[in-house]
Amino acid sequence: MLKIGSHVSFSDKGLLTATEEAASYGSSSFMIYTGAPQNTRRKPIESMNIEAGKAAMAAADIEEIVVHAPYIINLGSYKSNTYQLAVDFLQEEIRRTHALGVRNIVLHPGAFTDKDAEYGVARIAEGLNEVLNGTNETEVSIALETMAGKGTEVGRSFEEIAAIIDKVQHNERLTICLDTCHIHDAGYDIVNDLDGVLRQFDDTIGLNRLAIVHVNDSKNPIGSRKDRHTPIGTGWIGFEAINRVVHHEALQGRPFILETPWVGKDAKTQRPMYEMEIALLRGDIAARFGESVLTEVERLDSFFAGQDIHPRSFVLDTWNLLKNDAKAKKADPREPLERLYDLVTAANLFPDYSEEQVNQRVLAWLATGH
């Protein structure tokens, strides 16, 4: 069974509510932060509702989940207090991850800030040595995430990640999280040469270390080094390329985790597209949403064809317009999915559907339309 899910929240009821949210999307895996991703404040392990959460996971047929460390810790920092905070927090987070029964904690390697990449690689390796030497929970691995290369972040190439691994003593406890948006933005052509990219990964790091795949489309063209996610099928990677990643024989058995942004006109009522994205990648949207969804997607196909709108060309033309024409972007900053949603609602195609339901069907058309 394809292990696929999304990032979910970790609220007062801990693992239980996280599992319930993941199950509502049809997930067979999911990823959590054990607190807010923007800070290191964490509740005691005893309050994470672990036993009830594990029971809910079993009921939902969810076996493997993933923990993600917060973004703000930086093992690459030359500042002693920032570096030590990262080391101390990661050691505690490994203990929390172990208590949850989770095998991998995803980590953005770090940034070299005012130094250089060579310093960043060495400093991150130094921190990982300290973290791993200071913890006995050997069942838990740190999954270094491939990065897009924005700013001074380390991990923007397979070679940088391999250099970190080579400097870590207990590197059997290091795994990798491959992010589709990140490696695309870093310059790896997963759209036209996925096999070649995976061979390069295998030659440089080893596919045996790959433990998790983050599944995200990108708002920017290849090599942009931007790291801006968008729902699958609405960006430069596109649904077909992402679908090939998820079903590639060399990647099977790993959890695939969506980190795509929520969508909607009003920030207060925005909704994730996870349920439709998961169904599309499984190839079972009719089973999930009912047979009528196929007719509705066909209706959208006819409607957009009548306006000479085709999925991939519309998406890429819109992103090119927003990227290359500042006046046009200022006048109309709407992204592809929002523009399509507005056309559908103006035509009153689905008057009884919520904004979320309309967006789900537009997303399905982007993935399956002609």
Residue 51 marked ligand-binding: no
Cα Rg, the chain, nearest whole Å: 21
Residue 184 marked ligand-binding: no
Residue 229 marked ligand-binding: yes
Residue 259 marked ligand-binding: yes
User: Cα-flanking dihedrals φ and ψ of residue 68, to 5°?
Assistant: -120, 130
Task: Give which of 168, 156, 250 is closest to 208, Cα–Cα.
Answer: 250
Question: What SS3 class is residue 5?
Answer: strand
Residue 227 marked ligand-binding: yes
User: Cα-flanking dihedrals φ and ψ of residue 284, to 5°?
Assistant: -135, 45
Residue 98 marked ligand-binding: no
Residue 195 marked ligand-binding: no
Exposure class string for 43-63: b at 16+ Cβ within 10 A, else e: eeeeebbbeebbebbeebebe
What distance in Å separates the CA atoms of residue 28 and residue 25, rounded to the nearest whole number? 9
Query: With contact defined as beta carbons under 8 Å apart, do 43 and 10 qualify?
Result: no
- Both structure tokens of 141: 């691995």
Residue 370 marked ligand-binding: no
- Single-letter amino acid, residue 77: S
Q: Classify residue 146 by its DSSP letter.
A: P
Write the CA distances from 278 to 183, 186, 312, integer angstroms. 21, 25, 20
Residue 248 marked ligand-binding: no
User: Cα-flanking dihedrals φ and ψ of residue 32, to 5°?
Assistant: -130, 155
What distance in Å separates the CA atoms of residue 134 and residue 90, rounded to the nearest whole number? 10
What distance in Å separates the CA atoms of residue 34 and residue 11, rounded to the nearest whole number? 9
What distance in Å separates the CA atoms of residue 65 and residue 2, rounded to the nearest whole number? 13
Query: With contact defined as beta carbons under 8 Å apart, do 133 and 170 qualify?
Result: yes
- Both structure tokens of 128: 């990982």
- Both structure tokens of 189: 């052509």
**Which segments are annotated as binding site?**
68, 108, 145, 179, 182, 214, 227, 229, 259
User: Binding site membership for Zn(2+): which residues?
Assistant: 68, 108, 145, 179, 182, 214, 227, 229, 259
